[in-house]
């Protein structure tokens, strides 16, 4: 029997003539034949169901429901739209307070058209902890790809048959916010919205007396709020706690025209004292709802939106307790999956002094826009932070009756009362910057405290440019021959323009680097509140940003804090504190400690150093001497504002030109009184577009000192009819009016 033609021997015999031919063509001498290329065999790998399952679970882990849906079998997709699929997962996530998940596949059992992949699933919930399940995922082979044959048990086995999840939550009371002495700034209570109907007022004198005590406002100010209102209109005035109202309830109910409406809410002391620091709470913003639900919130709570309320949300809210239930389609609870007790909220104690804060708000800036920052000089603790205009934090609760009338005014006010000018306001610093320039001059080695300059009232050292001193503007004689220390004491502009130009010719970086050493051009590190960095131009920035060289004009402008220099009041208070305490830049802080109901504090304040002023001890002493002279020397620009004050003060006036209006008035300084009962402080005052620092900011600075050291304002502003009753100020920088007793 002969082999068939497909037998290997036949195929080899048929190929022999070709093999002989190849050998013959290869040439003599035993040369090897060129090998034939190996045949390429294309093999399609079998699809991997475990990989398909992993792709589905990974998409769930990152919340990509579209990819998950695309991985479903045809029958599964026909049974549910992509929107319904997505909503089912989101409902489970919201009910379970799902914050994330982990999974691990453990192999597959495969048949011709079906497969099962086993996997372990851990669902992390914010309220009841982790849920761990072992699940088997069915898959079908469709067009060469494994697809998930989906049902709800792939989320949780307990959801079989249309069951759903429900979380029964127990919510702890929100923690209180206190000042450094344990006095409440924000707490849960019944509060009363106060207002009047002018036409129904019967005894205005008694009404104003009662309201003045409750609202901490002068009677004249309260009356001005309703003076021009129609007689039958309701005029909202403010809020008081129910406890405060109860003390005078009988007298208040007899007053014609007064209307009181009480609700249970978060109450903010003093109509929102320190509102920019404390902040407020409100409903969960719609765009953040899912994020809050993932943190264990139901979504209908009120949460911190600004200030300490927002920063301290994890402490102030505590931790919800709850039971995660499985509910049948009939509404019957069929199982409890997990449960966890609530964890009480902690209280936050700030570094603020409530009494000082409230009095500075009432008697300090008045109607001026601006800021006051008061720091404990040797630690960085914020004792008071006032941004004017302020706002009433109580109005952000919609259950507050006055909210409907007054809250829209906050948002529409062109002065932007929600802006924290102390940390977010960015201003030219004016002559307060001369502290930096003086420091750069001394550290450069080119100047000593005794370096002499002849001031004629004019600066003509740059060809084609003539600048005039403030003495010329106010018709005063020039400073004449003065030394470097007196240059700061008398705030001689030409001297500092000269220094700026001179240092520019020697080393363009001397002043910019000193300013950075004082902490300017970057945030102070106050983490609790939003903070701007200001702006500090320098030769490198100008070259990179504008393609221009750093010019003499830039240096001359910077020397007196003008040009493109921008600072925040907090930055200024911080570096002035460093001058006063011996050179240490502390990180400003507003949290004193965080106290849970039981146990040790979760956090306790400790001073944090963020740098040292780049000054030798000798040169720092010269700067301190000059700042003391601003207040005490007979030619000091602020001397007449501090006559009779029994507190040792060093400071610097500033008048910063603003291209959008009148100059900003500055005063920055510190005390060096060494009182055992009152730690020394550093402070900055800015009154926006109000003119001369010596005329406006210095008197405000003095008043804040009186409040801090003596508990109340003692002297009348030059522009006041009486303390707390203001009119617009007038006068010049050399005004020698002695504060009234």
Helix residue ranges, H only, 5-136:
8-25, 49-61, 65-70, 74-79, 82-96
182 and 349 Cβ atoms separated by less than 8 Å: yes
Q: Lowest-pLDDT range, 286-300, 356-370, 550-564, 608-622?
A: 286-300
Residue 731 domain-assigned?
no
Please give the span between the terminal C-alpha atoms of the chain, in angstroms, as a whole number: 138
Residue 403 domain-assigned?
no
Of 162, 190, 207, which residue constitutes the final position of a domain? 162
Residue 511 and residue 497 in one domain: yes
- Is residue 31 pLDDT above 60, yes or no? no
Q: Kindly list the strands in the beta sheet with 661-671, ordered across the sheet, starting from the edge strand earlier in the chain.
A: 382-388, 370-376, 681-687, 661-671, 649-658
Residue 174 sits at the vertex; the CA angle it makes with 170 and 175, to the nearest 5 degrees, is 135
Cis check: omega of the bond before 389, within 30 degrees of 0: yes
Residue 593 and residue 703 in one domain: no
Residue 1 domain-assigned?
no
The model's pLDDT over 673-710, given as tens digits with 9 standing for 90+, comes to: 999 999 999 999 999 999 999 999 999 999 999 999 99
Predicted TM-score (pTM) of the model is 0.85
Mean pLDDT across the stretch 114-136?
Answer: 96
- Indicate the pLDDT class of residue 271, thresholds 50, 70 and 90: confident
- Indicate the pLDDT class of residue 740, thresholds 50, 70 and 90: very low
Residue 54 domain-assigned?
yes
Residue 366 domain-assigned?
yes
> What span, in angstroms and rounded, lies between the C-alpha atoms of 686 and 668?
9
Mean pLDDT across the stretch 540-563?
Answer: 95
Residue 564 and residue 523 in one domain: yes
- Is residue 497 pLDDT above 90, yes or no? yes
Residue 319 and residue 219 in one domain: yes
Spacing of C-alpha 396 from chain mean position: 18
- Is residue 341 pLDDT above 60, yes or no? yes
pLDDT of residue 21: 30
Query: 3-class DSSP state for residue 173?
Result: coil
Residue 178 and residue 158 in one domain: no
pLDDT of residue 38: 53
pLDDT of residue 431: 97
pLDDT of residue 618: 98
The model's pLDDT over 48-82, given as tens digits with 9 standing for 90+, comes to: 999 999 999 999 999 999 999 999 999 999 999 99
Parallel, antiparallel, or unpaired: how do β-strands 458-459 and 584-586 relate?
Answer: unpaired
Q: How many CB atoms lie within 10 A of CB 493?
A: 27
- Indicate the pLDDT class of residue 248, thresholds 50, 70 and 90: confident
- Indicate the pLDDT class of residue 13, thresholds 50, 70 and 90: very low
pLDDT of residue 5: 37
- Is residue 543 pLDDT above 90, yes or no? yes
Record the tokens describing residue 353, joined without a space: 């002094």
Record the tokens describing residue 20, joined without a space: 């002989």
Tell me the percentage of the chain whose pLDDT exceeds 70: 92
The model's pLDDT over 662-673, given as tens digits with 9 standing for 90+, comes to: 999 999 999 999
pLDDT of residue 578: 98
pLDDT of residue 407: 94
The model's pLDDT over 552-574, given as tens digits with 9 standing for 90+, comes to: 999 999 999 999 999 999 999 99
pLDDT of residue 36: 52
- Indicate the pLDDT class of residue 35, thresholds 50, 70 and 90: low
Of 162, 193, 223, which residue constitutes the final position of a domain? 162
The model's pLDDT over 347-388, given as tens digits with 9 standing for 90+, comes to: 999 999 999 999 999 999 988 999 999 999 999 999 999 999
> What span, in angstroms and rounded, lies between the C-alpha atoms of 184 and 347?
10
Strand stretches in 389-448, DSSP E: none
Mean pLDDT across the stretch 386-391?
Answer: 96
Packing angle, helices 569-581 and 617-632, rounded to 10? 110
Higher-confidence residue of 660 and 275: namely 275
- Is residue 12 pLDDT above 50, yes or no? no
Tell me the percentage of the chain whose pLDDT exceeds 90: 83
Mean pLDDT across the stretch 160-168?
Answer: 94
Q: How many CB atoms lie within 10 A of CB 451?
A: 16
CATH code where residue 640 lies: 3.30.450.330
Record the tokens describing residue 700, joined without a space: 């405000």
Q: How many CB atoms lie within 10 A of CB 83?
A: 10
pLDDT of residue 290: 85
Q: Which of 627, 619, 623 is nearest to 650 (CA)?
A: 627
- If you ran DSSP here, which 8-state letter would residue 162 be given? G
Residue 155 and residue 169 in one domain: no
Q: Which helix (H) or strand (E) holds 16?
A: helix 8-25
- Is residue 161 pLDDT above 80, yes or no? yes
CATH code where residue 597 lies: 3.40.710.10
Helix residue ranges, H only, 163-266:
204-215, 219-226, 242-246, 249-253
Record the tokens describing residue 48, joined without a space: 């991997």
Record the tokens describing residue 407, joined without a space: 């809250």
Q: Which helix (H) or strand (E) holds 515?
A: helix 510-517
> What span, in angstroms and rounded, lies between the C-alpha atoms of 94 and 295?
10
- Indicate the pLDDT class of residue 660, thresholds 50, 70 and 90: confident
**Domain span including residue 664:** 356-395+630-726
Parallel, antiparallel, or unpaired: how do β-strands 347-350 and 177-178 relate?
Answer: parallel
- Is residue 6 pLDDT above 60, yes or no? no
Alpha-carbon distances of 60 from 56, 57, 153, 210, 502, rounded to whole Å: 6, 5, 14, 61, 66
CATH code where residue 331 lies: 3.90.1310.10
Q: Which of 312, 202, 329 is nearest to 253 (CA)?
A: 202
Residue 442 and residue 322 in one domain: no
Residue 226 and residue 298 in one domain: yes
Residue 108 and residue 179 in one domain: no
Phi-psi region of 121 (alpha: psi -120 to 50; beta: other; left: phi over 0): beta
Residue 328 and residue 371 in one domain: no
Residue 27 domain-assigned?
no
Residue 182 and residue 262 in one domain: yes
Backbone angles phi, psi at 394, to 5 degrees: -65, -25
pLDDT of residue 696: 96
Q: How many CB atoms lie within 10 A of CB 465?
A: 12
pLDDT of residue 107: 94
- Is residue 603 pLDDT above 80, yes or no? yes
* Upper half-sphere CA count for residue 501 (Cβ side, 13 Å): 14
- Indicate the pLDDT class of residue 275, thresholds 50, 70 and 90: very high
Q: Which helix (H) or strand (E) holds 263?
A: strand 258-268
Of 162, 185, 216, which residue constitutes the final position of a domain? 162
Q: How many domains does the chain have?
A: 4
Helix residue ranges, H only, 561-697:
569-581, 617-632
- Is residue 39 pLDDT above 60, yes or no? no
> What span, in angstroms and rounded, lies between the C-alpha atoms of 578 and 684?
13
Q: Please give the mean pLDDT across all residues of the chain.
A: 90
Residue 18 domain-assigned?
no
Residue 457 domain-assigned?
yes
pLDDT of residue 473: 87
> What span, in angstroms and rounded, lies between the C-alpha atoms of 317 and 419?
25
588 and 524 Cβ atoms separated by less than 8 Å: yes
> What span, in angstroms and rounded, lies between the C-alpha atoms of 311 and 330?
43
Residue 543 and residue 583 in one domain: yes
CATH code where residue 88 lies: 3.10.450.100
pLDDT of residue 18: 35
């Amino acid at each position: 029997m002969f082999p068939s033609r497909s037998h290997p021997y036949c195929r080899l015999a048929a190929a022999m003539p070709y093999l002989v031919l190849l050998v013959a063509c290869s040439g003599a001498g035993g040369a090897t034949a060129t090998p034939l290329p190996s045949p390429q065999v294309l093999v399609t790998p079998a699809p991997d169901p475990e990989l398909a399952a992993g792709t589905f679970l990974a998409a769930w882990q990152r919340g990509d429901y579209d990819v998950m849906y695309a991985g479903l079998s045809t029958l599964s997709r026909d049974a549910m739209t992509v929107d319904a699929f997505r909503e089912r997962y989101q409902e489970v996530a919201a009910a379970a307070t799902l914050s994330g998940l982990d999974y691990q596949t453990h192999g597959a059992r495969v048949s011709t058209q079906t497969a099962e992949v086993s996997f372990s699933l851990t669902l992390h919930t914010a309220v009841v902890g982790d849920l761990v399940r072992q699940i088997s995922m069915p898959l079908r082979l469709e067009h060469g790809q494994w697809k998930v044959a989906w049902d709800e048990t792939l989320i949780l086995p307990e959801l079989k048959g249309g069951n759903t999840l429900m979380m029964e939550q127990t919510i702890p009371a929100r923690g209180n916010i206190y000042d450094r002495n344990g006095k409440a700034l924000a707490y849960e209570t019944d509060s009363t919205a106060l207002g009047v109907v002018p036409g129904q007022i019967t005894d205005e004198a008694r009404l104003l007396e009662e309201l003045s005590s409750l609202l901490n406002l002068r009677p004249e100010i309260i009356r001005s709020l309703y003076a021009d209102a129609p007689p039958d209109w309701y005029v909202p005035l403010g809020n008081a706690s129910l406890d405060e109202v109860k003390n005078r309830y009988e007298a208040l109910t007899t007053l014609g025209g007064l209307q009181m409406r009480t609700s249970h809410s978060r109450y903010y002391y003093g109509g929102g004292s320190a509102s920019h620091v404390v902040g407020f709470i409100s409903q969960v913003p719609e765009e953040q709802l899912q994020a809050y639900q993932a943190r264990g919130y139901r979504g209908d709570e009120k949460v911190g939106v600004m200030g300490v309320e927002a920063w301290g949300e994890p402490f102030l809210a505590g931790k919800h307790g709850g039971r995660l239930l499985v509910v049948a389609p009939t509404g019957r609870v069929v199982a409890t999956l997990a449960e966890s007790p609530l964890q009480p909220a902690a209280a936050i104690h700030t570094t603020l002094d409530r009494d000082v804060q409230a009095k500075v708000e009432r008697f300090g800036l008045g109607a001026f826009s601006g800021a006051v920052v008061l720091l404990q000089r040797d630690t960085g603790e914020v004792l008071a932070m006032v941004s004017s205009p302020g706002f009433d934090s109580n109005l952000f609760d919609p259950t507050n009756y006055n909210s409907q009338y007054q809250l829209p005014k906050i948002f529409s006010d062109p002065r932007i009362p929600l802006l924290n000018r102390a940390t977010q306001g960015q201003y030219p610093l004016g002559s307060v910057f001369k502290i930096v320039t003086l420091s750069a001059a001394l550290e450069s080695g080119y100047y000593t405290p005794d370096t002499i300059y002849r001031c004629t009232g004019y600066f003509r050292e740059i060809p084609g440019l003539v600048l005039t001193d403030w003495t010329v503007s106010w018709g005063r004689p020039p400073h004449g021959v003065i030394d470097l220390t007196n240059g700061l004491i008398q705030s001689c502009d030409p001297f500092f323009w000269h220094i700026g130009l001179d240092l520019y010719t020697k080393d363009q970086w001397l002043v910019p680097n000193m300013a950075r050493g004082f902490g300017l051009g970057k945030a102070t590190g106050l983490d609790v509140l939003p903070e701007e960095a200001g702006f500090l131009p320098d030769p490198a920035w100008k070259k990179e940003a504008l393609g221009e060289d750093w010019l003499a004009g830039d240096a001359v402008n910077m020397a007196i804090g003008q040009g493109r220099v921008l600072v925040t009041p907090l930055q200024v208070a911080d570096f002035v504190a460093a001058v006063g305490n011996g050179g240490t830049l502390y990180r400003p802080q507003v949290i004193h400690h965080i106290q849970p109901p039981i146990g040790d504090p979760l956090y306790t304040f400790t001073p944090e150093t963020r740098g040292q002023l780049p000054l030798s001890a000798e040169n720092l002493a010269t700067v301190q001497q000059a700042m003391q002279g601003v207040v005490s020397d007979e030619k000091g620009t602020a001397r007449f504002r501090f006559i009779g004050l029994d507190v040792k003060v060093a400071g610097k006036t500033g008048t910063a030109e603003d291209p959008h209006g009148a100059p900003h008035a500055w005063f920055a300084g510190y005390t060096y009184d060494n009182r055992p009962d009152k730690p020394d402080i550093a402070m900055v005052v800015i009154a926006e577009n109000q003119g001369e620092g010596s005329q406006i900011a210095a008197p405000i600075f003095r008043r804040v000192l009186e409040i801090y050291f003596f508990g109340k304002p003692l002297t009348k502003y030059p522009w006041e009819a009486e303390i707390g009753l203001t009119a617009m100020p007038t006068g010049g920088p050399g005004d020698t009016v002695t504060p009234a007793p």
